[in-house]
Amino acid sequence: MKMTGLNHITINVTDLEASRKFYQKILGLKENGFIDMGDHTLTYFELPRSTRLELIDYETKAKQKEYKETDIGTYRHFCLETDDLKELYRICRENGVFVRKEPSYVEKLSCATMLIVDPNGVEIEIIEK
């Protein structure tokens, strides 16, 4: 038995419309599917290599928990790769996206990185090799 790929990444959203706009307008992802599950909906976006981003919008929402980047035993972020980190940074700044870490080259990783936060408080690392 072996793992053959990453199928999807899921985010429970606080505001579906704000999230849709963020992933379409800021990150340029293509929306690709919507399923009404009864008590929640699933909205899909295409990621590279046949992976999907799945946004779950529950009818009844629990209070959002606050996590710090150094908390252990919690999910921290997912990472996307771009071919133009400076352009993405400009788009983020123009659209009021919270940039946790401005673009900078990380010698030990041999790439430039940036950290942003989506409308749900989810941290996303963006790298350019």
> Which pLDDT score is estimated for 76?
85
Which residues of the chain fall below pLDDT 50? none
> Which pLDDT score is estimated for 68?
77
Q: Are 115 and 102 in contact (CB under 8 A)?
A: no
* Residues contacting 53, CB < 8 A, separation 6+: 8, 9, 10, 11, 23, 29, 44, 45, 46, 47
Number of domains in the chain: 1
CATH code of the domain covering residue 89: 3.10.180.10
> Which pLDDT score is estimated for 36?
98
Domain annotation covers residue 83: yes
Domain annotation covers residue 70: no
> Which pLDDT score is estimated for 66?
80
> Which pLDDT score is estimated for 34?
96
